[in-house]
Amino acid sequence: MKTIRLGKNGPVISQFGLGCTAMSDMYGPSDELESITTIHAALDAGINMLSAEDLAQIESAIPADAVADARYGEEQMRWLDSEKRPQ
pLDDT tens, 22-45? 887 777 888 888 888 888 899 999
Residues 6+ away with beta carbon under 8 Å from 30: 22, 23, 24
- Residues 68-77, mean pLDDT to the nearest whole number: 63
Residue boundaries of the structural domains of the chain: 3-82
Give the whole-angstrom CA distance, residue 2 versus residue 85: 24
Residues in the chain: 87
Whole-number mean pLDDT of the chain? 76
* pTM score: 0.55
* Res 83 pLDDT > 70: no
Give the whole-angstrom CA distance, residue 30 versus residue 36: 11
Residue 23 CB: number of other CB atoms within 10 A? 18
* Res 81 pLDDT > 70: no
